[in-house]
């Protein structure tokens, strides 16, 4: 019998992935470092290095098991400009009965795969990605199918379905579903942030770092001090470190920010989960076990599990439900070009300079920096949703379209008109000041509302509200804010709007990146 060709993509690096489930001796695993995928947007250098290093190590582990791997390197003799070309060439090298592949995380790639059977004249079996807990088709059963969706409804059903943090009689652990209100503390001055394990590049990773420096050295970001896990073994070690050391404080300080501390108590696991080195089940199981053994409080364990089986699964469901066309939405008619400082980090707004600078260094910023600093600015400034999507997809090492797009279009920009956000996540400088120490190091004064020295978030906030007051009239979650705006002195509002105009017109557009 002819063997099977099993095509494993760069974010499917899990031994148990559905495409490898029934692998037989003689089958061939195809993996490819594809030019098009590395360059269709100009990904952060660190993101490319992380993925290629993880792919090469995964391939080596399969080979060590005796599995035949056909691995196409970006710098090898065989080259592949696209997934289709990689497959076409591989089918010439191997006489196979069929191709098996796990469904991808992107609409564009799925459409491509659906055409392969006709293009190559070989049966192509597209298998569901069962590393997620909720399939695309089942999403509406759990989340509903109305025009708007509530993450909390979906999350409760996911808790019941998975049994995570449930009591034996089917109740949520601790009597409540959600401890979000206990996840919003500012960081006390004296609290120490624990040092993290570092993973020095081995020869394979160093080879990739050299390749990326040569081929993609003009992309955004830096490769310096690359120390992230790229193997299953190291990823599992990083998860253990998180659960034993950072998790106990993760819950309380989940929304906090501190200058010079890019990771705080966050897990920093997203890239490892998204590419498959860790499964979400093992992460949630480890966190639940820490809670049950008295090693982590409930607000931390519930907070983490909510992010994974709640937000992460929900966001993916929204992506597939709303595609295609989701990326084109622009409910608020935002059209301002991305400013240059998104690539240089050179802005006098300290919170943004810190978050963008850390993004350039680490290909990472934690959730509140992405949402309430950078995202908040994109919303208030009315930046073009397509340009913002491209930026978020380029700069973070965990970014894939299925997760980046709903977070940008739906969560930060309200560009989908509120598919799952009941109101825009807009905030003035006061929020950033409460949750961080950035303002103490800033040239702007967070207490001032108008004038050259006023924090731009303050006047941009009210300018945004005034610009969209009509659109949000009738949204009860906006009632108080709009009532405050209505009570404001007209001259004061006019001055803030002038300040906003001056500031926004003074931004230098980034141009083509
Ligand atoms: C504008 C914007 C863009 C984002 N883009 C991405 C992206 O491209 N890739 C990505 O993985 N996450 C994205 N997120 C979600 C979130 O910010 C990151 O998952 C998180 O910061 C990763 O850090 P961590 O692993 O330390 O997470 P933790 O704070 O430790 O949280 C635990 C895990 O929960 C999951 N999670 C939490 N929030 C979300 C969410 N909103 N959507 C999906 N998963 C979530 C992640 O897997 C994360 O590892 C984005 C959020 C925003 C607001
Ligand atoms: S004063 Fe305003 S711009 Fe400066 S750090 Fe604070 S919130 Fe950011």
C-alpha of residue 346 to centroid of ligand 2, in Å: 14
Cβ(433) – ligand 2 distance below 6 Å? yes
Q: What is the pLDDT of residue 218?
A: 95
Beta-bridge mates of residue 101: 7, 126
Residue of 48, 439, 395 whose CA lies nearest to 208: 48
- Cβ(9) – ligand 2 distance below 6 Å: no
Q: Is the dihedral of CA 398, 162, 110, 101 positive or negative?
A: positive
CATH 1.25.40.80 fits 136-322, yes or no: yes
**Smallest-distance ligand from the CA of 274:** 1
- 411 ligand 1 Cβ < 6 A: yes
Q: How far apart (Å, rounded) are the C-alpha atoms in residues 419 and 262? A: 30
For residue 224, report the phi and psi dihedrals to the nearest 5 degrees: -60, 140
Residue-wise burial string across 30-52, b where 16 or more C-beta atoms lie within 10 A, e elsewhere: bbbbbbebbeebbbbbbbbbbbb
Q: Is the CB of 19 under 6 A from ligand 1?
A: no
Pull the structure tokens for residue 182: 């206990």
- Can you spell out the DSSP letters for 408-430? IIIIIS-TTSSSS-SS-----HH
Please write the tens of the pLDDT for every residue from 459-505: 999 999 999 999 999 999 999 999 999 999 999 999 999 999 999 99
pLDDT of 511: 78
The pLDDT assigned to 513 comes to 67
**What residue owns the CA closest to ligand 1's atom 2?**
407
Domains 4-127 and 341-505 share a fold: no
Own/partner contacts of 406-410, CB < 8 Å, gap of 24 or more, are: 406/315, 406/318, 406/319, 406/322, 406/326, 407/315, 407/370, 408/375, 409/326, 409/327, 409/329, 409/385, 410/318
**Measured between alpha carbons, how far is 317 from 275 in angstroms, rounded to an integer?**
18
Which ligand is in closest contact with the Cα of 243? 1
Backbone angles phi, psi at 338, to 5 degrees: -60, 130
The answer, yes or no, to whether any atom of ligand 1 lies below 6 A from the CB of 375, is: yes
CA 306 – ligand 1 centroid, Å: 12
For the CA atoms of 135, 137, 142, 144, what is the dihedral angle to 10 degrees? 150
Using one digit for the tens of pLDDT, what is the confidence trace for 46-60? 999 999 999 999 999
Residue 459 CA to residue 444 CA, distance in Å, equals 12
Residue 446 CA: nearest ligand 2 atom is 1
Q: Whose CA is nearest to atom 3 of ligand 2?
A: 349
What does the alpha-carbon distance between residue 168 and residue 141 come to, in Å, rounded to a whole number?
A: 24
Q: Tell which one of 275, 277, 359, 367 to mutate to probe ligand 1, the residue whose CB is within 8 A of the most ligand atoms.
A: 367
**The pair of three-digit structure tokens given for residue 387, joined into one six-digit string:** 């340009």
Whether 274 is in the pocket of ligand 1, judged by its Cβ within 6 Å, is: yes
Confidence at residue 38, expressed as pLDDT on a 0 to 100 scale: 78
Cα of 367 vs centre of ligand 1, distance in Å, is 6
Q: Which atom of ligand 1 is nearest to the CA of 268?
A: 26
CB atoms under 10 Å from CB of 69, counted, come to 17
| Domain spans of the chain, in order of start | 4-127, 136-322, 341-505
Q: Cα(428) to centroid of ligand 2, in Å?
A: 9
Question: What's the length of the chain?
Answer: 513
Domain 4-127 CATH assignment equals 3.40.50.620: yes
Pocket flag, ligand 2, residue 454 (CB < 6 Å): no
Question: Would you say 433 and 349 are in contact if contact means Cβ atoms under 8 Å apart?
Answer: no
> Which residues of the chain are under the pLDDT cut of 70?
513
CA dihedral 83, 89, 91, 95 (to 10 degrees): -150
Q: Under DSSP, is residue 407 helix (H, G, I), strand (E, B) or coil?
A: helix
* Any ligand 1 atom below 6 A from CB of 368: no
CA-closest residue to ligand 1 atom 48: 270
Report CA torsion sign: 138, 141, 143, 149: positive
Query: Does the beta carbon of 48 sit less than 6 angstroms from any atom of ligand 1?
Result: no
Quick check: 284 and 238 in contact, CB under 8 A? no
Other C-beta atoms within 10 Å of 118: how many?
8
From ligand 1's centre to the CA of 342, what distance in Å?
Answer: 20
**pTM confidence score:** 0.98
CA 350 to ligand 2: nearest atom: 5
Correct CATH for 341-505 of 1.10.1660.10, 1.10.579.10, 3.30.365.10, 3.10.180.10: 1.10.579.10
Q: Is the CB of 458 under 6 A from ligand 2?
A: no
Calculate how far, in angstroms, residue 507's C-alpha sits from the geometric centre of ligand 2.
Answer: 16
**Dmax (CA) of the chain:** 81
Distance 36 CA to ligand 2 centre (A): 39
Residue 71 to residue 86: CA distance in whole angstroms: 10
For the chain, the distance separating the N- and C-terminal CA atoms, rounded to the nearest angstrom, is 50
pLDDT for residue 512: 72
Q: Which tokens hold the place of 131?
A: 């590393």
Distance CA(102)–CA(135), nearest Å, equals 13
Q: Atom 23, ligand 1: which residue's CA is nearest?
A: 268
Measured in angstroms, how far is the CA atom of residue 269 from the centroid of ligand 1? 9
Q: Do 504 and 336 form a contact (C-beta atoms < 8 A)?
A: yes
Tell me the C-alpha distance between 488 and 341, whole Å.
32
């Amino acid at each position: 019998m002819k063997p099977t060709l099993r095509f494993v993509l760069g974010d499917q690096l899990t031994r148990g992935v559905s495409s490898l489930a029934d692998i037989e001796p003689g089958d061939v695993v195809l993996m490819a470092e594809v030019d098009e995928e590395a360059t269709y947007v100009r990904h952060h250098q660190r993101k490319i290095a992380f993925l290629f290093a993880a792919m090469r190590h995964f391939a080596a582990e399969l080979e060590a098991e005796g599995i035949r791997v056909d691995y196409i390197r970006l710098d090898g003799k065989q080259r592949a400009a696209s997934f289709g070309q990689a497959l076409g060439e591989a089918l010439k090298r191997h006489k196979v009965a069929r191709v098996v592949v796990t469904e991808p995380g992107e609409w564009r790639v799925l459409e491509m795969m659906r055409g392969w059977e006709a293009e190559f004249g070989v049966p192509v079996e597209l298998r569901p990605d069962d590393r997620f807990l909720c399939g695309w088709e089942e999403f509406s059963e759990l989340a509903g199918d109305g025009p708007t969706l509530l993450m909390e409804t979906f999350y409760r059903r996911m808790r019941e379905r998975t049994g995570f943090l449930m009591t034996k009689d089917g109740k949520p652990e601790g009597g409540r579903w959600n401890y979000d209100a206990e996840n919003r503390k500012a960081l006390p001055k004296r609290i120490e942030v624990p040092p993290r394990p570092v993973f020095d590049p081995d020869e394979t990773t160093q080879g990739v770092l050299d390749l990326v420096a040569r081929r993609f050295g003009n992309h955004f970001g830096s490769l310096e001090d690359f120390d992230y896990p790229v193997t299953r073994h190291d990823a599992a070690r990083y998860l253990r470190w998180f659960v034993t050391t950072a998790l106990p404080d993760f819950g309380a300080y989940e929304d906090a920010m501190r200058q010079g501390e890019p990771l705080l108590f966050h897990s920093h696991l997203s890239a490892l989960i998204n590419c498959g080195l860790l499964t979400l089940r093992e992460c949630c199981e480890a966190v639940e076990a820490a809670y049950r053994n008295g090693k982590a409080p409930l607000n931390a364990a519930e907070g983490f599990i909510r992010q994974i089986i709640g937000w992460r699964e929900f966001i993916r469901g929204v992506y597939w439900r709303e595609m295609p066309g989701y990326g084109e939405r622009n409910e608020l008619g935002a059209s301002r070009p991305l400013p240059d400082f998104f690539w240089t980090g050179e802005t006098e707004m300290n919170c943004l300079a810190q978050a963008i600078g850390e993004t350039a260094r680490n290909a990472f910023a934690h959730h509140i920096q992405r949402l309430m600093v950078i995202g908040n600015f994109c919303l208030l400034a009315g930046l073009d949703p397509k340009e913002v999507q491209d930026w978020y997809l380029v700069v973070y090492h965990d970014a894939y379209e299925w997760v980046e797009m709903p977070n940008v279009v739906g969560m930060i920009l309200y560009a989908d008109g509120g598919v799952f956000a009941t109101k825009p996540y807009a905030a003035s400088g006061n929020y950033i000041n409460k949750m961080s120490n950035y303002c103490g190091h800033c040239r702007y004064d967070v207490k001032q509302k108008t004038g050259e020295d006023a924090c731009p978030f303050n006047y941009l906030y009210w300018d945004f509200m005034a610009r969209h007051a009509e659109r949000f009239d009738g949204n009860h979650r906006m009632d108080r804010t709009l009532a405050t705006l209505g009570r404001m002195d007209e001259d004061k509002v006019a001055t803030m709007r002038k300040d906003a105009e001056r500031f926004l017109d003074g931004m230098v557009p980034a141009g083509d990146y």
